[in-house]
Structure formats: structure tokens, C-alpha cells
Amino acid sequence: MSAETSAKTLQQRIDRLESLDEIRQLAAKYSLALDMRDLDAMANLFPEDVKVGKNSSGRAHLKKWLDETMRNQFTGTSHHIGNHIIEFIDPDQAVGVVYSKNEHETPTANGDIEWVIMQMIYWDNYQRIDGRWYFKRRLPCYWYATDLNKPPVGDNKMRWPDRDHYAGAYHDLWPSWQKFWQTPLSDELPTVAPPAPAEQFLMTMRGHTAAPKIKTR
């Protein structure tokens, strides 16, 4: 290996490490900005042409949507991020999964307040633009949301006050979930698939399936 090639490889490795840290900071900044209601800080974590809904784009539209959502549904929130897996498509694009455990102070129609706890993951797409990493897209996949004193046992674990209960899409990204429960336990020794290629652990688990449609109510 030539000195030039070695230097280039070292620079690529340093760039990857710096990118990993910046993307992890991106997820942490999102949670802090959301909980402290700094809508400008939140909007600026996305590109200038961020898509908002079906027909709108731009940070101003995102800020407006965030304002309506945060103001009308919650009087306070706390988002605690956990496991974070990041894989690169190329030097300027990446995907990731972030676990998030959340708490919401949620007013109800009858004047009461419920303390709604939630478990979810984000499927993220990240993009580097002009040397800076942004969320290109965040896909929230929910397992449950329920009052602190009401464990969400059973189906339809999304149980916001004053709304019909529904199923989140926590497992819909992962074909292994249905396959596991559809495959009966066998006495025979199972086969083991080859390890996922480098930077393809998530997409291998996804089975290269399309993203599901997520209900956000």
C-alpha cells in the first residue's frame, strides 16, 4: 500500500468516526430541542427542503407543524434515547435505528391529565450537506403509548387519551418478527444464515423491504 493510499484510507476512517459522532449528536439534539420546545433548533436539524406532509416542504412548514403538535397535545415531554445503530450507504448518506423511551404530560377532554409513557424506535435517514449532517427523514415506529398506571397488555397498544386505540408499527420494519411466530419450534438443529455484510446489518434485518405506513395520531 502506497503512502498516498494509506493516508487516504486513514482520512476516510477519521471521517467515518467523526460522522458517527455527529449523527449521534443529531439524535440527542433532537430530543433536547423537542423537550425544551425550541422549534427553530428542531427545524434546523433537517435540510432546507425537508418534506412536510404530502404537499409541503421547507423548515417553516416543519416549524408550523411542530408548533401545532406540541402545543395542542402535550404540556410537557421527556425523550430518552438509547441504542443507536448507524450504517453508511456512502460517505454522505446513512441510515440508523434509535430506541426512544418517552414521557408525556397529556391533558384530556374532561380536564384531567394523564402521564403517558411510550416505547418506540426511529428509523432514520441521514444526509450530509455542505459538510453538515441532517435528518433527511425520521420514521417513528411505536410499540406502545399508555397512561403510567395502565400497562398496555394485549392488542392495540397505542392508547392516547380521548382517541381510539390502535396498533403501532414497532415490529413492521422487521420481517423476522412475523417469521419467528409463524415458524413452529422444531426438535431439529436449525440452520444459521451467513452474517450480514459490513454496513448492511440493518438492511439485512429489514429484508430490503419498503418502509411501512405509520399512523401518527
pLDDT tens digit at each of 217 positions of the chain: 555 556 568 999 999 999 999 999 999 999 999 999 999 999 999 999 999 988 899 999 999 999 998 888 899 999 999 999 999 999 999 999 999 999 999 999 999 999 999 999 999 999 999 999 999 999 999 999 999 999 999 999 999 999 999 998 889 889 999 999 999 999 999 999 999 998 999 999 998 777 666 655 4
| Three state DSSP letters for 12-58 | HHHHHHHHHHHHHHHHHHHHHHHHCCCHHHHHCCCCCCCEECCCEEC
What pTM does this model have?
Answer: 0.90
CA distances from 216 to 24, 46, 56, 64, 76 (A): 24, 19, 17, 17, 18
Q: Which domains does the chain have, with CATH numbers?
A: 3-206 (3.10.450.50)
Tell me: the pLDDT tens digits for 101-114? 999 999 999 999 99
**Numbers of helices and strands, H then E, in the chain:** 5, 6
